[in-house]
Chain A
Amino acid sequence: MTSKSVISASELSVRIDQRTILDNLNFEVGKGEVFALLGGNGAGKSTTLKTFLGLMKPSTGTASVMGMSVAENTNEVQKSVAYLPESVTLYGHLSGYENIRYFLSVAGVEKTDDAIHEALNKVALQENAWHNTLSNYSKGMRQKTAIALAILRNAPVLFLDEPTSGLDPAAIDEFNSLVSELANNGATIFMVTHDVYGACQVAHRIVLLSNGKLTGSFERVGDTPIDTEAVHAAFAGRK
């Protein structure tokens, strides 16, 4: 792990019932970097994410966040990161505003109403929906609520699970802008996705994961997005 890396995997392996899910992963993610782990179904993306979130323990090797071993400092790591699940699962009986208040309270983060309103405005959630119960929200609106929560957590590290899945193109653009803005402000973003186009648009680096192994890496040069065709070819196994 370099001194600048915020997230790192060192010889990280996870085995469940004699089956190798992650096989000797090694990578580092720097501060302010948007890192995309790209892979198909069953590649091991969710297991990687769960290991970094402290929901699974590595069989061998280390998953570290901000210099702390996740397995050994699970609670400290969880307090320093924000997580955006694939299907945003907030409470249907609460409003977007109440969901944010509750999760902030569980995380031990105190925020004023103004700060919450600012975050909701930032993610462009319509004001008239703030106090409606979540059961009336679209997937995009739920996604925005969860991002507002992540922003309010002031977490230096964000883990995103298939963040653009199910969003319409306009919402994806809004989301990508938001991720870029967060990264520019110094947040380190680790996303797992199978959306090649979306990853190329927003990521500084894309790493391919197949059958639990890292099989390729693509890096953005300057402001030019990573070449979608090249990544797609590698992802589809044509290269």
Chain B
Amino acid sequence: MMSNTIKTICAEQWRYWLRTKVATTVLILGSVLTLAALVVNAFHIEEAAHARENLQHEAEERFLSQPDKHPHRMVHYGHYVFRTPTPLSVIEPGVDTYTGNAIFLEGHRQNSAMFAEQRQSAGLTRFSSLTPSFLALVLAPLFIILIGYGSVSREREAGTLTLLLTQGASRWQLVLGKLVALMLASSIFLLPLLLACLYVAFSNESALVVTLFCLGYALYFLLWAVVVTACSTLFEKSSASFTVLIVIWMSACILLPRMGSSVATSVEPSIGKLEADFKVEEKLRNLGDGHDVNDPAFVKLKQELLDKYNVNSVDDLPVNFRGIVAQYSEQRQAVVINEFAESRMQEELAQARIARQFGWLSPTVALRSFSTLLAGTSIETHHRFLREAEILRMQFVQGLNKVHVEKLDYKLDMNRNSSEEAADKAVVEASNWAVLSEFSFQPEAPMARLSSAAMYCLQLLLWVGVAALLLKLAVRRLNP
């Protein structure tokens, strides 16, 4: 139980903050910013979720309401699939901010996700995006430093430390009183996050995940409160304490996370999108043009079919040869496309894993990894979305190709460009467009997310241990 002396020192520290305009301003500014970011983000995500729902519905309706058409035109007409963000993305949008959560499905190509916040905006928006996690990870520690850097050193500078110690307060009581006060101040920044988590807990999210998510942030704030109090205890001058803390903040919150990304891209370099696209195009060209049944790439396929159906000409086949070529070509193209996509995803994953190792050097990186994995907004979740969307794309395109094979006469198909009338005949009924499967992307199961985040929880705990040792050293060296 907390001693009365600790409570008294804690209460006095609060009275000082409340009477000092600077500290009060920092406290109010920090909590208002966090709350505002949460509310704006929650509204934005709620609105975006509704918009996505409408767009998904609209896209399906528009697709199904297409008139009788050539099935391959429907392949190119395409279709959208949307991913509903996880409930915790209100607080931790993670990679969603950059990757987006809608994909345009069409034949012969694999589109990346779109409608990301950062892709819709001008470049400068990147610096003005105040997400709740950014506030908690980067700005809250700065606020904690601004409030607490002088909590103990001020007593020494003013000479009140001697008087306090000679009243019978032990060094630990004094420092713990200051630490508890700073922890309470830090909880002002945590409170909006807790409220948001409470809201999320009622939004179909695992209570265990939400609780651990909150505990992660609470641990992070505790860590900063301990580091700030330790530095304030260790250094004789408040100015020295402030300078050292700002250097620590810049290293932990700004430099090391970026250094992690830079090191990751250097150790695991990946080719640029344009270069990758050229390589894919080059490989696809070698596979032949799926729109041209006379392409030499399909000679073997043609012969196999003629042999199978024991006929001499594709005109005599019971199926549409153009459709067969489209199916065959799409299948082969998908192998190439997926090979490149997998390779890119493996590179991104390797980079993410290297960047996450910087959690041993920076608690900010540790919490970032922990919270994105728990929230289901990590690169792993995004990759799963891309893979599931690709399966859907193949079902959709091959479904239309099947209609092409089975429902459209080959001769009509081949004559489609001879006249307008012929083109009108080379169509299938609109009832065939019902090839869309329902797409509902779900984040990983809670236990899977917990298991992948465990390592980064360990990093955070290690940091708290280091901070506690620093505090112990500081208290031992505390002299008036």
Contact = CB atoms under 8 A, between A and B. Distances in A.
A131 interface: no
A81 B166 contact: yes
B158 A106 contact: no
B159 interface: yes
B170 A93 contact: no
A197 interface: no
A106 B160 contact: no
A108 B5 contact: yes
B419 interface: no
Nearest to B165: A55
Contact of A108 (B4, B12, B160, B165): B4
A160 B20 CA distance: 31
A137 interface: no
Contact of A107 (B20, B168, B480): B168
Contacts of A55: 162, 165-166, 479-480
A85 B168 contact: no
Given A93-B19, A102-B12, A108-B4, A85 B170 contact: no
B8 interface: yes
A87 interface: yes
Nearest to A109: B167
Contacts of B158: 89, 91-92
14 contacts: A53-B162, A55-B162, A55-B166, A55-B480, A75-B168, A78-B166, A83-B162, A85-B159, A85-B162, A90-B163, A106-B164, A106-B168, A106-B169, A108-B4
Interface residues of A, number: 26
Interface of A: 50, 53-55, 75, 78-79, 81-83, 85, 87, 89-94, 102-103, 105-108, 153, 159
A75 B173 CA distance: 12
Please give me the 8 A-B residue pairs with the lowest Cβ-Cβ distance, nearest first. A89-B159, A79-B168, A107-B167, A83-B166, A78-B168, A105-B8, A106-B167, A93-B19
A135 B9 CA distance: 20
A90 B9 CA distance: 14
A93 B20 contact: yes
B163 A85 contact: yes
Interface string B149-185: 0000000001110111111111000000000000000
Interface string B6-30: 0011001001100110000000000
A115 B49 CA distance: 66
A78 B167 CA distance: 6
Nearest to B3: A108
B163 to A, nearest CB: 6
A83 B159 CA distance: 13
A106 B9 contact: yes
Given A89-B162, A106-B9, A107-B167, 20 more contacts: A54-B166, A55-B162, A55-B165, A78-B165, A79-B167, A79-B168, A81-B166, A85-B162, A89-B158, A89-B160, A91-B16, A102-B12, A103-B163, A105-B8, A106-B164, A106-B167, A106-B169, A107-B169, A153-B167, A159-B166
Given A85-B162, A90-B160, A106 B8 contact: yes
A187 to B, nearest CB: 16
B160 A91 contact: yes
B168 A108 contact: yes
Nearest to A84: B163
Contacts of A85: 159, 162-163
Contacts of B15: 93-94
A94 B18 CA distance: 12
A89 B165 contact: no
Contacts of B480: 50, 55
Given A105-B8, A106-B169, A93 B164 contact: no
B163 A83 contact: yes
A112 B9 CA distance: 20
Given A102-B12, A106-B9, A89 B168 contact: no
Nearest to B18: A93
